[in-house]
Structure 1
């Protein structure tokens, strides 16, 4: 890889990491503080709407952002066409959800859901104004500005949400916090991106972008139906409390995987698009980025599984302790998120969004069957079903990636990742035994983090990990 691309990758990862960790860290902090005041049923009510909100947001995006990034000869006409299309779709979706709100409330037999859906649906109208601005910054790999925007928007909305939670606004805290955060994000993006739409909508531009983006739209819709469908089914067959526990377990276990995956993926995608015709270099860069993402993620997830009880007890209080076994199971599921997403992204970089669609249909068909079966055996079994699905996900994706890059196979990815996983699991087991020596939750968490980092670094050095040598080399290079 050329020195220019390497430097772009390093700077991009650094600022993407700052943006994502600042964003997710602040969101986690406010979520914890707010959750201490709200009940699981409050989160359960919002979770019941997850499938509708997730699918609607996908239709607003329509895969046009990825289409803009992968297109090498993009023009201002392309950007304006995308902008007006997104706004039009958002207004149509809001109208549909507004009309459907009474039916949704009747389906769940929860009258409050009518008002909640009407207000939460405004998110799509708000977010439709930011798509192109964010795409512009991503293409330029300007994650520094996005970092500041995220910090300001989350801090302000989180402060308002915290005030509402402590003044007994209940579930409306979660609604207004999201609306304010997204509104501030849009305003700051418009100020920062320095791009304004023109009154142009090109049919030719739309057809070209939609030809690529439509396949992503369908594949993401299929993914959202499965991912959010669990909330719909659990919300229908179980109580709001059980739904809230499942929602919180997903939220706590998906936070780190999605953050780390997004950090790497946001930088990797523009670079992979540049290297799309250099197969050997593309394969090399893919495995390097995948290993680095998992080298960081695996120990974090094993550490969370080992320390989940003191973490939940200290941060969320005793009323949330029933969520612990769910989190432990899902920790082993979400570790495969980087492999799944980065394979999907690799297909897009090679212009094979059709393969993405075929893969989604196959793996989600399997996943839905798993979900329906597991549902009859309780919430823990549903979590085991999620674990099985993530492994199936990676396997199916690699059946398609190997068609475009012969070395990107399931066995080759496992060969690269399993040594890292075994190192992380060994560290997690040793940290787990600390609970028999330390009885203070705070001291156990602090000791567990220190011991975990020391053990993982030591195991990685002894095993000759390429990733730790690479990280150490970059640190020494930057300190010269």
Structure 2
């Protein structure tokens, strides 16, 4: 595939995937705001506990085989069928494990409701397993347009179900209904759209080949997901359910930008860059562009969110959620390097070094013990601040091990992203100062957003940041293309 064609497909894929996340996360965000006004922080905390185990079990169900399929350029029907049956069998086994363990989970957290909640929510594992191959097929084809409409359909449907149940007084079960219906509708629409049907075929040859790469990603995924959920476990066990609810909501707000942007970049860049994995010059150039443009967006949004946290929480979900403001501000600093972590780790996958991927994840978890101990023995704020420091340390570990694979050093990466950070920090500090205005929160928030946007664009124009100019060029070209198309159609 020629470079220009791959670039165009990647840009289109990024555009559709970005639109997918904006629309669907926007829908989920609005639904979350409505539900937060109808449901108590304690009930959010209980669902947060159940989702800890769902996240860990889902990482086992996926088993790294989906990533192995995306990386493989010549997948066969045997490959697809083998992975499908493996995922499905694992999901059924884990569903029964979760079902049996639900009473033990309820006893551990001293919350009787968790017994029934866990048994019902466990069905998400099987539903998710049915979607993995269908989703992989779309990613390999870079068909993010189709994926966008599928995601939007599931988000709208589940949002209506969740809000309707909440208004009818189902409280915590409205969150359960939203979670299950979202994954269910998403899976159903994938099957309808793809027209791919599994066959009763299982190839040990395919399994050994794909699992050889995917097994290490499986182990790394389990370790990473488990440790990411440990914070919720500590909060759920040693603090009140409402505290976990505040932390869960802060994470939800923080993930709107950082995690979702990372998901967009990874899902587009990984299959695209996998196609040029043997051309190191093009690969490095591609990774530099991805890192610089991604981090400009991330720094802008995450530092900006930290600056507007208090009026945003007051306006969107009410004063009863104000205790989550400091959580959110710390989470923003914790998450703003997340895309950089993921991009460096993605390089290891593109280059086929899943063994090194696993080694790094294990090493980082030893460091991550420190903030967890702080949360148990000192306090929740010390745990979150410690996670920011360990996150910076973890980035250096990721970059250190990825350097030999692409000759892209830590100093080069820092040099590439430092201008974006400096500009975004200046913007965020200016925006935060506006929060002291003695006016209504909604007016403060509107002023902060307007000033922040104008100031960030102005600073980027003054300093002529290359990543900003790249994004500006892509957006202007997209607008011109759309205008030409509209003119032709009219």
TM-score range, shorter chain: over 0.9
Unaligned runs of 5+ in 1: none
Aligned to 2:350: 349
On the 8 A contact 2:311/2:444 being kept in 1, the answer is yes
Which residue is 1:458 aligned to?
458
How far apart are the structure 1 equivalents of 2:299 and 2:172? 34
Match of 2:299 in 1: 298
Match runs of 1:430-445 below 5 Å: 430-437=430-437, 439-445=439-445
- CA distance in 2 between counterparts of 1:68 and 1:309 reads 44
Taking the aligned partners of 2:457 and 2:108, their CA distance within structure 1 comes to 52
Partners of 1:226 and 1:364 within 8 A in 2: yes
Shift of 1:472: 2.6
User: Could you give the per-residue CA deviations for residues 321-357 of structure 1, whole angstroms, max 9, x where no partner exists?
Assistant: 0111111111111110110001111100000011110
The corresponding residue for 2:129 is: 128
Please give the per-residue CA displacement for 1:105-158, whole angstroms capped at 9, x wherever unaligned: 111111110000001110001111111110000000001111111111111111
* CA shift for structure 1 position 373: 2.6
The CA deviation at 1:240 is 0.6
Consecutive unaligned residues in structure 2, runs of 5 or more: 482-490
Question: Using the alignment, how far apart are the partners of 2:464 and 2:271 within structure 1?
Answer: 31
Report how far residue 374 of structure 1 moved: 3.9
CA contact (8 A) 1:50 1:231 kept: no
Kept after mapping to 2: 8 A contact 1:161/1:177:
yes
Aligned to 2:58: 57
Shift of 1:51: 2.9
Corresponding position of 2:211: 210
Cα distance in 1 for partners of 2:477, 2:245 equals 47
Q: Distance in 2 between matches of 1:282 and 1:143?
A: 22
**Length, aligned pairs only:** 479
CA RMSD of aligned residues (A): 1.3
Say whether 1:143 aligns with 2:132.
Answer: no
Partner-residue secondary structure (3-state), 1:36: helix
What is the distance in 1 between the residues matched to 2:231 and 2:437? 38
Looking at structure 2, the residues matched to 53 and 470 of structure 1 have their Cα atoms a distance apart, in angstroms, of 39
Checking the alignment, whether the CA contact within 8 Å between 2:16 and 2:148 is kept in structure 1 is: yes
- Could you say which residue in structure 2 is the equivalent of 1:448? 448
Q: CA deviation at 1:287?
A: 1.2
- Provide, for residues 387-431 of structure 1, a one-character-per-residue CA deviation record: whole Å limited to 9, x for no partner: 112212211111210121122x22221111122111101001111
Counterpart of 1:473? Answer: 473
Q: Secondary structure at the match of 1:168?
A: coil
Residue deviations 1:55-74 (CA, integer Å, cap 9, x gap): 10011100111100111221
Match of 2:85 in 1: 84
TM-score with structure 1 setting the length: 0.97
Q: Secondary structure at the match of 1:169?
A: coil
- Per the alignment, residue 185 of structure 1 pairs with 186
Segment of structure 1 superposing worse, 439-448 or 151-160: 439-448
Cα offset, 1:477, TM superposition:
3.3
In 2, Cα distance between the equivalents of 1:457 and 1:129? 44
Quote the offset at 1:438 in angstroms.
Answer: 5.5
What is the aligned partner in structure 1 of residue 401 from structure 2? 400
- Partner of 1:314 in structure 2? 315
Deviations 1:79-127 (A, max 9, x none): 0111111110000000111111111111111111000000111000111
Q: Distance in 2 between matches of 1:332 and 1:164?
A: 35
After TM superposition, the structure 1 = structure 2 runs for residues 31-110 of structure 1, keeping only pairs within 5 Å, are: 31-110=32-111
Contact kept? 2:14, 2:268, Cα under 8 Å: yes
SS in 1 for 2:352: coil
Are 2:329 and 1:324 aligned? no
- SS of aligned partner of 1:18: helix
Equivalent residues of 2:374, 2:382 under 8 A apart: no
Q: Report what 2:414 is aligned to.
A: 414
Please give the per-residue CA displacement for 1:237-256, whole angstroms capped at 9, x wherever unaligned. 11111111111111111221
Deviations 1:156-182 (A, max 9, x none): 111110111122211111111110111
Pair 1:369–1:437, CA change in 2 (3 A): closer
Q: What's the CA shift string for 1:197-227, capped at 9, x where partnerless?
A: 1110001111111111110110011111211
Separation in structure 1 between the aligned mates of residue 381 and residue 22 of structure 2, nearest angstrom? 29
- Any idea what SS the aligned residue of 1:439 has? coil
Question: Within 5 A, what are the aligned runs for 1:166-315?
Answer: 166-315=167-316
> How far apart are the structure 2 equivalents of 1:357 and 1:198?
32
Q: Residue 487 of structure 2 aligns with which residue?
A: none
Is the Cα contact below 8 Å between 2:62 and 2:132 reproduced in 1?
Answer: yes
| TM-score between both structures, scaled by the size of structure 2 | 0.96
Residues 1:191 and 1:384: Cα distance change in structure 2 (over 3 Å): same
Confirm or deny: 8 A CA contact 1:49 1:232 kept in the other structure.
no
